[in-house]
Amino acid sequence: MKKILVLVAIVVSFSFAQSTSNKISDNLLTKLHTSVENQSFLIWIYFSDKGNDIEKYLSNPTSVISEKSLKRRKKLDSESSIEISDLPVHQTYIEKLLQTGFQIRNKSKWFNSVSGFATREQINNISKMPFVKYIDVVKGYKKSNLNIEAEKQSYIPINKTPQPENLFSLDYGSSFAQVNQINVPAVHNLGFDGTGVTICVMDAGFNNLAHVVFNTIDIIATWDFVNGDPNVGDENDMGSGSHGTYVLSVLGGYSPGNLIGPAYRANYILAKTENTDSETPVEEDNWIAAMEWADSIGVDLTSTSLGYLEYDSPFIGYTWQDMDGNTALITRAADLAVKKGIVVVNSAGNEGSRGTPNTLMAPADGDSVIAIGGVDASGLRVSFSSYGPTVDGRIKPDFMALATGVVAARAFNQTQYTTVSGTSFSCPLTSGAIALLLQANPNLTPIQLRTILRQTSSRSNNPDNFYGWGIINTLSALNQVVGVDDNFVSSDFKLFQNYPNPFNPNTKISWQSPVSSWQTLKVYDVLGNEVATLVDEYREAGRYEVEFNAVGTHRGVSLPSGIYFYRLTAGSFTEVKKMVLTK
């Protein structure tokens, strides 16, 4: 029997050597040499070009991507609104593949490729086609037990975390600790809630969107990339979506007194990319297809609480040595998304106990990907949180947030809550905080945002490969965000929330005016009495900021603690906002 197997391997090797085997990767050749007759393989087929319709698409960008996506890209100062990578795969090439019996699964315009199933004979025929550049295996990722953050087996009522009275405008219930650790409530006080920001969550489905925490969530698009339909919940098909329910509730849920996520007013795109029914590897092509789809819609930020690594034979995956930012195709796709203006946030992984030189999971190793590790309530790194450095020596993870005892909506009940653990949940907490910063200044590029977070997080002066730059501070980051691009003025009047708020004794108030006018900015107490005039003069169109000091403001007397209002009048425009003085 051994001699026969050796002979088969030699014959197969010779067969492919005589064909265009230089187009076939070594990994795929190895699998082909040990295969049985009519066995199917999940492969990538890369094309040499995009056909003869290039100019048609380049002259009409909205035939490829949405206006919102085009607008997002403009902040990158790129020479062209779209690139060759944005153009669709040439349909004629796809049709020729289908004629061989190839079963297509996903298309990737970014990599000019398609994924799908083919037998050894079909692969041999496909490799001879002149427009085929390269054929490779679709890599798989191993699911670790540590990477399955499950709900408590039996429901346990959650004790409400104490929240200071009269300091914050929202009641966070038991979720206060997880958002307060990253200073989100203070930013909510300033009026930022994710409005206008589009977030794509890529996960294993979302099985309980009927939960009360999602009653006000704005879901603008859904797609199941595992089963090929728009239903991302649990059906009679592959995959269970409990994990996605937890993640989405932590990120964008809104149920005052129970759970409030950082970005509870954002727009959401939901993509089901993982099949939880199987112990076979989860393929990278679903994630890449979801990212390209979200880009075409106009996504601003993606949040992925999945990460996978090596797999046992006969499956082919990536190892820790491949975590260099350039090897894993899913990582290269993530970095390319950032170059198109998308903020990509990913869990670092829960592989801290593996003991390898790094325990990262793709695509968290990307040089432009924001990788999130996990801490406990006291701010100490949890032992399972993956660490760096990347193989090429970069610091990873980037930032940290709570990863133990995170309050989330129950996946199998429409009114109750539970606690979950893992970097799967520090990721959406951070993603939601970043959405608030994007709301405050939509013109920020992904790299500008990351730089600001590095400058304002808890370990900004001493980053390392266990904590990165530390626990993010959303309020401190916001104070820098609103100062970026000071010359930018929109076509609308805008009075911004003061910061900090609450304050003692100083706070800053900023506004923008698209036209020149006489402008007044005054402060009043709760009885309507004027306590300060900060501006009363003619000003040109522009963006302005003044500082208000509550000490000696009113007739030389310091103002007492309490609620105050400030009103801007500029021509016919008037707006009033509330601020809180605490002593």
Averaged pLDDT, 363-374: 96
Is a pLDDT exceeding 80 seen at residue 320? yes
Q: What percent of the chain has pLDDT over 90?
A: 56
Residue 197 confidence (pLDDT): 97
For residues 534 and 507, what is the distance between their CA atoms, to the nearest angstrom? 12
CA angle 443, 446, 450 (to 5 degrees): 115
Tokens of 255: 């149920």
The H or E element spanning position 434 is helix 423-440
Residue 541 confidence (pLDDT): 82
Residue 324 confidence (pLDDT): 93
1-7 CB contacts, 8 Å cutoff, 24+ apart: none
Q: Does domain 145-481 have CATH number 3.40.50.200?
A: yes
More confident residue, 424 or 145: 424
Residue 495 confidence (pLDDT): 86
For residues 249 and 411, what is the distance between their CA atoms, to the nearest angstrom? 10
- Confidence category of residue 467, pLDDT binned at 50, 70, 90: very high
Q: Among 571, 43, 86, 552, which residue's Cα sits nearest to residue 291?
A: 86
Secondary-structure class of domain 494-581 per CATH:
mainly beta
Decide: 249 and 212 in contact? Cβ < 8 Å.
Answer: no
Kindly give, in sequence order, each residue whose CB lies less than 8 Å from that of residue 273, ignoring residues fewer than 6 positions away.
202, 203, 204, 225, 226, 282, 286, 287, 290, 306
More confident residue, 96 or 5: 96
Cβ neighbours of 325 (radius 10 Å): 24
Is a pLDDT exceeding 90 seen at residue 542? no
- Confidence category of residue 493, pLDDT binned at 50, 70, 90: confident
- Confidence category of residue 233, pLDDT binned at 50, 70, 90: confident
More confident residue, 445 or 541: 445
Q: What is the pLDDT of residues 334-366, one digit of tens each?
A: 999 999 999 999 999 998 988 999 999 889 999
Tokens of 157: 């009522």
Residue type, 233: G
Averaged pLDDT, 519-541: 91
Averaged pLDDT, 128-152: 67
Residue 73 confidence (pLDDT): 87
Averaged pLDDT, 278-285: 60
Q: What is the pLDDT of residues 68-80, one digit of tens each?
A: 898 898 888 665 5
Beta strands in 376-467 (DSSP E): 399-402, 406-409, 417-420
Residue 145 confidence (pLDDT): 35
Say yes or no: do domains 2-50+88-138 and 145-481 share a fold.
Answer: no
**What predicted TM-score, i.e. pTM, was given to this entire model?**
0.79
Is a pLDDT exceeding 70 seen at residue 140? no
Is a pLDDT exceeding 50 seen at residue 3? no
Cα-flanking dihedrals φ and ψ of residue 95, to 5°? -60, -40
For residues 344 and 363, what is the distance between their CA atoms, to the nearest angstrom? 10
CATH number of 2-50+88-138: 3.30.70.80
More confident residue, 319 or 172: 172
- Confidence category of residue 277, pLDDT binned at 50, 70, 90: low
- Enumerate the domain spans of the chain: 2-50+88-138, 145-481, 494-581
Residue 8 confidence (pLDDT): 35
Q: Among 479, 323, 506, 472, which residue's Cα sits nearest to residue 401?
A: 472
